[in-house]
Structures are given as structure tokens and as C-alpha cells.
Amino acid sequence: MSKKPDLVPVETKPHYWLYKQGVEVWNRRAREAFFDKDGNDDGRIDKLIEEAKQRLEEVKKNKTADYIIDQIKRRVEILEEFKACEVLSDKEWSELTDKIRNGTGDKSTELPKVNEPIDFSNTIWQGNANFSGYIFPSSADFILANFLGNAYFGSAILINAKFSSAIFSGNAYFSSAILINANFNSANFKSSADFRSANFKSFADFRSANFKSFAHFRSANFSCDADFSSTNFKSADFNSTNFKSAGFNSTLFSVYAYFNSACFQGNADFRSAIFSDNADFNSASFSEKADFSLARFSKSVDFYSANFSDRAYFNSATFYLLLLNKTKFEGDCSFEGATFKKVPKVSGASILGVFNFYDVIWSKIEDSKEPKQDALSYSQLKRLMSDSHLHDWEMFFFRKELLCRAEVAKRKAKKPTEDNIRKIRKCLTAYKLLRSNKLTSWILKAKIFDSDWREAQFIKLYDEISECGDSIIKPFRKLLILYFTMAFLYPVISGKMSDGIFQGFYLSLRHTVLFLPSSKKKYDAIMCSLFPGYDTGEVNIQYLSYVLLSGFQAVLSLGLLFLVGLAIRNHFRIK
């Protein structure tokens, strides 16, 4: 592993002495770099002024906070002042050189040329570094610099701003600065970092940077790719920030993460990002692909009124509480393999594409603290799927809603009061059904006389038989079991099991599908062969058993056939 170079006092750097002369002298010297070889203005400053004015109109239109507007106004003023300032004459430059030589006591000191790279790498700054309003005419190198005090770069213009592995022990102020090819890779911000209203151009690299306090990027403008991969944020404010494309892959947000009204014009990559606290994307807009796959949200994440114009991926993400109220999805949205610890809220949401909830892990209904609220949330999901004509998912959430309602009813169910128990005991005694206290104990435990209990049991039975009208296979399988059971049972009760099996299949089919055409002559012949005396009207225990069982089979089969038909209708949406 290579050893980092030792830090040197910043006073050993030639540009430091020019910096110490103040912003006016620095900028007059820097103005020379913005002329072409013929001595004409190269137009770069005019372009920056125009961009700043456009940005000012945007923030005014969006009713941004006054201090943001003031910061951008200040940027315009500095740029206009810089354009109007005069270049240092040769005489002034000579006098400045002498002044600096006298200050340093070194008569051989030569000040750097205007286009020479500005080198402050590997330096240590004992006090505050104040570059507010400074215009850097060439590459600015602060690699491995250590700022022990505050660092002020507000409204500065930095070309090829290199701050990789720099340490900011005090507050770092870059508000309203223009940073071209900014590199903050592995930079360490130990105190507050202020990039509000900053304008990033060409590229912005914050990979593996460490923000140990507040990171303010409110109303910043990234007209370039921004890479925050593997960055650690304590608290991050990206409200009203504009991104061309943004990479937050494997980024950690330890406290809050605000992206309210943020605008992602290109791809937004939040894969494997970790949000340890609340995350807000209220009114954020995603113009291209938004990828939150494998992201982990330990608390709530709110996309209220957010707009996804393209595909949105939340595959294998983990959500504590996902809020999608009034969120608009214009493309497909996938939650495949995601985990929801609470039911998502989707009131007023809309989707024009397709939702994917395959292999999602949902919270257990029986463990829910608010099953009534969960039932409402599943109802909203069902309605969203219905409006989007995604009928399979509509049925899936309908089942979830019913099971939540069953859980609500189960918890509401009350045990019979002592007065009700006495009435039940008296009623059962009158009908000679009470033989011991065991029946009374069963009634007390089962809560069979409570309407909420009965509702819960009915829904559970409905789910067990047909998954609340969603399954074709389950009721059909039970219908087949019933058919074969009765086909063998009829010959058994008639006492002619050995030679009546085929007659049993016929009778079972006749009572399973009541609407099938059947010959009465054939039916009478089979009944006579199984139950002697049928033709004479004789009634015995075998025949009576057959009548009861066949009636039971007919009713049960009719119900199962109805559930099969209901599931087919639900799957294929037959109106």
C-alpha cells in the first residue's frame, strides 16, 4: 500500500500569496485567461452569466426560498463584475510581484502564470480558507488538502476542481459555486457541507465521500452526470435539486434523506442504497429509468405526488412503510422479490404500465397491529389494479383484503356473557341437548354465537376452499375428491360394493353435475339393483342414508362448481 505524501504548509505554494492579495486582485489576474489569442473575449463568461440568469428565473418560478434566490443573484453579480473588471497591467503585476517578494523575504519568488495549474495539493490550512467569489482560470488542485478551519468557496468558479481525499474539518461552503469537472472522491466532510444552489458542469464525482454532518444540496443543479456511489451521508438535503443522471449505488443515508421536488432528467440509480431513517421523494420527477433494486428502507419512504415517466424498479428492495399516495407511474413498475413489513399506501396513485409483484414477501396478517388499516390499504391496491386492468393482481389484493377483514372480525369477537351462557344452557336443556358442562365450555371457546366470529370463520373457509375466489384448482380438486368418495360410498351403504362400483360412479356423476341429461329409466334400474324395494317404495336405513348423502353431495357440488366458475370468470374477466 502506497504511503500518502506528507502535508506541507499552504504558505509554500506560489498561488497562496496571490490568494492572500484578495478576490479583486486574483480575479483581475484571472480575467486574462478568458480572452482568445486575438485579445477578444472568448464568450465563456457570457455563457455562464446567461445560465445563471436562466437558473434564477427557474427558482423564482418554483417559489424557492428567498435565500436560494439571493445566492443565485449574487452569482450573477460576481460574474458580471468579473466580466467588467480590467486585467492587471504589466506595471501592476510587477508591483505585485515586488510586494509579495518583500512579504516572503525571498527575492527569487516568481508568481505563477495565469494558465498554470493552481496547485494546493497536499497542503494544510491552519485557519479559514476564504475563496468566496474567486474565479479559477485553470485547473484547481486541492487533492489531499487538509482544511482545519472553515473553507469558503461560495459563488466561486472552479475549473477541474480536484478535492479527492481532501479533509474538511470545519464547515465547507460551496453555495452558488460553479464547479466544472468536480472531483470529491473519498473527500471527508467532518462538519456541515453546503452546496446549496451550486452548479455542477461536465462531471461531479462524490464516490466514497464521507459526510459526517449535514450535507446541503438544496436547489443545486447537476447539468452533468453525478456519482454518489458508496457515499456515506449522515443527513442529506437534495430538495429541488436538478440531476441529469444520478448514481447513489450502495450509498448510506444514516439519518434523513430529502429529495422533495428533485428532478432526475436521466437515469436515477439507487441500487443497494441504505436509508436508515425516513426518506422523502415528495413531488420528485423521474424522466428516465429509476432503479431502487436491493435498496433498504428501515423507516418510511414517501413518494407523494412523485412522477415516474419511465420504468421503475424496486426489485428485492426492503420496505418498512412505502407511501405511494398520488404517485404516477407512466411506465412499468416492478417489485419482484421485494419485502414489505407494512402494507404500502397507494391512495390516489395511477399507473399506465404494468405492476409486477411476483415473489413479494408480505407482512403476516396475523402479526399486524392495524389489520383494519391494512384492509383499507389492500383495498386501495385492489382498486389501483382494477383501474389499470391488471385483474390477476386485483384478485390477489382482494384476497388479502378479505383476510385482513377476517383478522379484524376475529379480534372483535367477544366471548358470551354469563347471562348469555345461562340462556344458552337453558335453551339446550329444553331440547335435551345438554349432557354436561363440556358443551357449554365449547360454546364459550368457539364464540359460535358471535357475528364477528362467524364472519371470520366464513372468510377463512372461503379462503381455504378457493383462495377467496382466485383459485380454479382448489375447488375443482375438492370436487373430484367428493365425486370419487361418493362413488365408492354409495355401493358401500347399499351393501353391494363388489358389483355396484360402476353404478356408484354413475350416481355420483348424476349428483355432481345436476344439469347433465340423464335417463330416468337407467337411474331407476341402477337404484333397484343397489336398493331392493326401491321400485315398491320401501324405505330402509340404506335408502334413507343414500337420500341424505346424495342431497349433501348435490348441494356441496353445486357450491364447488360455482366457485370454479367464479374463479374462471375472475381470471379471464368474463362479464
pLDDT in tens, 273-289: 999 999 999 999 999 99
* Mean pLDDT of the region 183-191: 96
- Checking if the pLDDT of 233 tops 90, the result is yes
H/E element, 154: none
Q: What per-residue confidence (pLDDT) applies to 259?
A: 97
Each residue's pLDDT tens digit, 362-392: 999 888 888 999 999 999 999 998 888 888 8
Average pLDDT over residues 330-348: 94
8 A C-beta contact, residue 345 and residue 323:
yes
Give pLDDT tens digits for 487-542.
888 888 887 776 778 888 888 888 888 776 667 778 778 888 777 767 666 777 88
Residues facing residue 355 across a β-bridge = 333
CA distances from 298 to 121, 273, 320, 456 (A): 39, 11, 6, 33
The domain spans of the chain are 8-104, 412-466, 473-572
Closest by CA to 278, choosing from 260, 305, 261, 297, is 297
Residue 4 has pLDDT above 70, yes or no: no
Q: Which of 227, 172, 228, 219 is nearest to 198 (CA)?
A: 219
Q: What is the pLDDT of residue 419?
A: 65
The highest-confidence range among 420-424, 484-488, 522-526, 540-544, by mean pLDDT, is: 484-488
Give SS3 for 204: strand
Q: What is the pLDDT of residues 120-148, one digit of tens each?
A: 999 999 999 999 999 999 999 999 999 99
Q: What is the pLDDT confidence band of residue 1, given thresholds at 50, 70 and 90?
A: very low
534 and 546 in contact (C-beta within 8 Å)? no
Q: What is the dihedral of CA 534, 540, 545, 547, to 10 degrees?
A: 40
Closest CA to 192 of 169, 221, 158, 176: 169
Is residue 340 pLDDT above 90, yes or no? yes
The grid coordinates listed for 381 are 391496491
- pLDDT above 60: residue 306: yes
Choice among 66-70, 406-410, 542-546 with the minimum mean pLDDT:
66-70
Q: Is 241 exposed, middle or buried (0-12, 13-18, 19+ CB in 10 A)?
A: buried
Query: What percentage of the chain exceeds 90 in pLDDT?
Result: 46
Per-residue confidence band for 422, with pLDDT thresholds at 50, 70 and 90: low
The average pLDDT across 87-99 equals: 85
Q: What are phi and psi of 123, to 5 degrees?
A: -105, 155
Amino acid symbol at 244 = K
DSSP class of residue 497 equals T
Tens-place pLDDT, residues 146-166: 999 999 999 999 989 999 999
Give mean pLDDT, residues 216-229: 94
| Alpha-carbon gap, residue 385 to 333, rounded angstroms | 12
Tell me the three state secondary structure of residue 125: strand
First to last CA, the chain: 72
Of all residues in the chain, the percent with pLDDT exceeding 70 is 89
What does the alpha-carbon distance between residue 465 and residue 462 come to, in Å, rounded to a whole number? 5
Angle among Cα 240, 174, 138 to the nearest 5 degrees reads 120
Residue 267 has pLDDT above 60, yes or no: yes
Residues facing residue 210 across a β-bridge? 188, 232
Residue 266 has pLDDT above 50, yes or no: yes
* pLDDT number for residue 430: 57
DSSP string, 307-357: EE-S-EE-TT-EEEEEE-TT-EESS-EE-TT-EESSPPB-TT-EESS-EE-
Place 440 in a pLDDT band, splitting at 50, 70 and 90: low
CA distance 512 to 485: 12
